[in-house]
Structure 1
Amino acid sequence: MGLEVGGLLGLIWLIIVIWAIIKVAKSSAGTLAKILWILILLVFPLLGLIIWFLLGPKGD
């Protein structure tokens, strides 16, 4: 049972990170800022997502 729960949580986490990357790509931030945010989200998924929620680009 542990493997199924871990797999489901991993899938949910992956969906959240992909959603954040799409939000960054669609934001009105500059190209360099977008690239940096996406790299942060990819390299540091947990910490990057927390920082992005607090400090990331807010515009659509």
Structure 2
Amino acid sequence: MFEYGGILGLIILIADVWAIVNIMGSSASTGSKVLWTVIILVLPILGLIIWLFAGPRSGRV
């Protein structure tokens, strides 16, 4: 009836794009930004969870 896989995939895609935008806006080094972006692209769900707990934060408070 409902396409849960498609909806869940869309939510994960939006969350990953949001995380990457936040990574690029952080004050971390370029190498760190690239590493975090690759982790999120290769491991979308796990990478997002790891980034939430250990990733670089944006300069805004």
After TM superposition, what 4+ stretches of structure 1 lie above 6 angstroms from structure 2?
none
**How many pairs are equivalent?**
59
**SS at 2:56 equivalent:** coil
Distance in 2 between residues matched to 1:5 and 1:41, nearest whole Å: 22
C-alpha root-mean-square deviation of aligned residues, in Å?
A: 1.1
Whichever structure has more helix as a proportion of its residues is 1
Structure 1: stretches of 5+ with no match in the other structure = none
TM-score by length of 2: 0.87
TM-score by length of 1: 0.88
Structure 2: stretches of 5+ with no match in the other structure = none
Report the equivalent of 1:29.
Answer: 28
Report the equivalent of 2:44.
Answer: 45
* Residue identity (%): 54
Give the deviation of 1:56 after TM superposition: 0.4
Report the equivalent of 1:55.
Answer: 54
Distance in 2 between residues matched to 1:5 and 1:26, nearest whole Å: 32
Bigger relative contact order, structure 1 or 2 (CA pairs below 8 A, ≥6 apart): 2
Checking the alignment, whether the CA contact within 8 Å between 2:23 and 2:58 is kept in structure 1 is no
